Chains A and B, each alone.
Chain A
Amino acid sequence: MAVVETIEVLTPGPLTTLQDLGRFGYGRYGVPPSGALDTFSLRAANLLVGNNENEACLEITMFGLRIRALRDVAIAVTGGDLRPFLNDTPLSMWTSLILKEGDTLSFRGMKDGCRSYLAVGGGFFLTEVMGSRSTNLSSGFGGLDGRPVKKGDIFTAHSPHPHLETEGRWFPQDLIPRYIREWRLRVIFGPQDDQFTEKAKTTFCNSPYQVNPQSNRTGIRMAGPIIERKPKVQESIISEGVIPGAIQVPGDGQPIIILVEIVTGGYRKIATVITADLPLLGQIKPGDTVTFEEISLDEAHEALREMEEKIKGFKEQISTSA
């Protein structure tokens, strides 16, 4: 199999990185999962262009990425609507289409959501580090030597040609998530919810929290009514493992939703966002408001099964139409 050049980066935007579904099994070494924040969109993008659903994609944050095709390639753009344009025409999202050699694709600004995912048929030819192609920016490894995409980067792929046949494949319209600016996230209380006051739990579930600009791939920081600890409960705890979606409350009583670039933490967690709602976390942007809704473990797992059914249904649709 030959490795050929597929696309060239003309401008990178404020933050574009390569991510797959994440890096697992190295938590004991302090290595976080990294990976796409919105895994649903990443999986959909890959399936649209005929890739394995864990293939690396470009995760584009907010705006600004501009690329040029160096040969005909199949691509799909999913996730937040960052106003993608093919040359000078708005580009359709959630579908497989062909970039002809010389075509440019640009992301011109935020319409809905915060992050777009760009899959290229045949993927990105990259070395796996600890079993993943995801970029870990803080320690500088994975993806492109652990750095964001920059101007002049040229990507390569194994045999992109057969993927051209996926042209015109659509992700079912009714399965595409809606990105709003007022989010309702479903949570399970714990593991330290008993160390907050009863009033704090009510406050937490009944108040809108506004997302701060200091948010990044490590956490979504929010401001709103203070979540109070019980009297005599200290600000920090003995550090322990954390998972993406865990909502920690530092001394100032303002919640932070932990994302994918950290594996341990030393603050109390009042609740954790359910697995089925994790992809949405990648689309929350500064200025948005978030409210939390408590649900049961069974309901959480049912929601996850529903999400997996969507992906499974799409996969079956692809295999029967092929």
Chain B
Amino acid sequence: MGDRSLLVELGDEISPEVNRRVMELSVILMENPIEGVIETVPAYRSLLIIYDPLKLDLVMIKTRMEDLQKKIGEIKIPEPKTLEIPVVYGGEYGPDMEWVSQYHNISVDGVIQLHTGTTYQVYMIGFMPGFPYMGELPEGLATPRRETPRTVIPQGSVAIAQRQTGIYPVESPGGWQILGRTPLKLFNPLHSPPTLLEMGDLVKFFSIGEKEFKQWQ
């Protein structure tokens, strides 16, 4: 992309297998750093590498990356963390719960059961610091984005869109359907790493009440 980055594509779909290849290549690159690389952004199916074009030329970095790609499948990547995330579902915490429940013609409890009944993989962190893109949502819960995005979504909002679920780490605008809210803090700029979740982590949600939510805070 442009005169200073290389977008390495490792597949053309959202899937745990493709995403794992991205993760592996990202780890391989960290273990075999290339002088002149400024930043890497791993995503669903691609790894963006931003470099200083005065130190590194495109042919050089392409060749290096092709070599590193050969190591995919040969390395061990750190075991993913599994996190259980408490969520108050519905009501003022999940303003789109009613709409989602009607859209699928299932009860609110049914939506909660579907959402808490699956273990999700964190495919990438993006959009804003600490926002985890997680999948896959059960097919019965696949929901389009809101037609009109909200201008303000509270911190900790747990939301869904298509076959993905995510959590807004800080108050922001956004177009996903909000099912509930977690009291956990997903982003702390002073911590290392700064995010609660990292690419590859596994996540399971569980339902809590409003009282517990307040105690957590």
Give the distance to chain A from B91, nearest Cβ to Cβ, in Å: 27
**In the assembly, what is the distance between CA of A306 and CA of B165, in Å?**
46
Closest beta carbon of chain A to B23's beta carbon, Å: 10
Residues of chain B lying within 8 A (CB to CB) of residue A287 = none
User: A108-148: which have CB < 8 Å to B?
Assistant: 129-130, 136, 138-142, 146
Q: Secondary structure at chain B's binding surface: helix, strand, loop or mixed?
A: loop
| CB of A308 within 8 Å of the partner chain | yes
Min distance, Cβ A129 to any Cβ of chain B, angstroms = 5
Q: Is the CB of B169 within 8 A of A139?
A: yes
Q: Are B54 and A31 in contact (CB under 8 A)?
A: no
Contact A28 B26 (CB under 8 A): yes
Find out whether the CB atom of A305 lies under 8 angstroms from the CB atom of B195.
no
Chain B residues whose C-beta falls within 8 Å of the C-beta of A187 in the assembled complex: 2
Q: Which of B38, B45, B48, B189 contacts A242 (CB 8 A)?
A: B48
Are A191 and B189 closer than 8 Å at their CB atoms? no
Q: With A and B bound together, what is the CA distance between A25 and B53 in angstroms?
A: 17
Q: Does B158 contact A (CB under 8 A)?
A: no
Closest to A127 in B: B190
CB distance from A35 to the nearest CB of B (A): 12
Interface 9-mer from A52-60, A97-105, A154-162, A270-278: A270-278
Q: How far is the CA of A26 from the CA of B40 in the complex (A)?
A: 8
Which B residue sits closest to A26, measured CB to CB?
A: B194
In the bound complex, residues from chain B placing their C-beta under 8 Å from that of A245 are 2
Which of B73-81, B101-109, B120-128 is found at the contact surface with chain A? B120-128
A243 to B129, Cβ gap below 8 A?
no
**Is B40 touching A27 in the complex (CB atoms < 8 A)?**
yes
Q: How far is the CA of A25 from the CA of B133 in the complex (A)?
A: 20
Q: Closest CB of chain B to A52's CB: distance in Å? A: 18
Q: Which of B3-11, B60-68, B207-215 contacts A (4 or more CB under 8 A)?
A: B3-11
B199 in contact (CB, < 8 A): yes
Q: Do B172 and A138 touch across chains, with their CB atoms under 8 A apart? A: yes
A256 → chain B closest CB, angstroms? 15
Contact pick for B170, options A26, A139, A300, CB 8 Å: A139
Q: Check if B178 is an interface residue, CB within 8 A of chain A.
A: no
A30 within 8 A of B: yes
Within 8 A of A (CB), among B10-69: 12-14, 26, 38-48, 50, 53-54, 57-58
Q: Which residues of chain A (238-265) have a CB below 8 Å from chain B?
A: 238-243, 245-246, 262-264
- Could you tell me if A240 and B48 are in contact, using CB atoms closer than 8 angstroms? yes
Which of B43, B48, B125: most chain A Cβ within 10 A? B43
* A30-B128, A138-B172, A239-B124 known; A272 vs B1 contact (CB < 8 Å): yes
Q: A29-B193, A191-B7, A243-B48 are in contact. Are A264 and B1 (CB under 8 A)?
A: no
**Contact among B43, B50, B130, B169 with A240 in the assembled complex (CB-CB below 8 Å):** B43
How far is A140 from B130 in the complex, measured between Cα atoms in Å? 13
Cα(A123)–Cα(B172), bound, Å: 32
Q: Does residue B131 face the partner (Cβ distance < 8 Å to A)?
A: yes
Are the C-beta atoms of A308 and B48 separated by less than 8 Å? no
* A26-B194, A130-B194, A241-B46 as given contacts; A264 in contact with B126, CB under 8 Å: yes
Q: Are A269 and B40 in contact (CB under 8 A)?
A: no
B89 at the interface (CB under 8 A from A): no
> In the bound complex, what is the Cα–Cα distance between A273 and B3 (angstroms)?
8
* Contact A30-B54, Cβ < 8 Å, known A130-B189, A263-B41, A275-B2: no
B205 within 8 A of A: no
- Complex: how many Å from CA A262 to CA B131? 12
Besides A240-B45, A241-B126, A274-B2, 10 new A-B residue pairs in contact (Cβ under 8 A), listed by A number: A31-B194, A129-B190, A130-B189, A138-B172, A139-B170, A139-B187, A188-B2, A241-B43, A245-B2, A308-B54
Which A residues form the contact surface with B (CB < 8 A)? 24-33, 129-130, 136, 138-142, 146, 187-188, 190-191, 238-243, 245-246, 262-264, 269, 272-275, 297, 300-301, 304-305, 308
Supply 22 A–B pairs (Cβ within 8 Å), ascending by A.
Answer: A26-B194, A27-B48, A29-B130, A29-B193, A29-B195, A30-B131, A139-B170, A188-B3, A238-B13, A239-B124, A239-B126, A239-B127, A239-B133, A240-B7, A240-B41, A240-B48, A243-B48, A246-B1, A263-B41, A263-B126, A300-B3, A301-B54
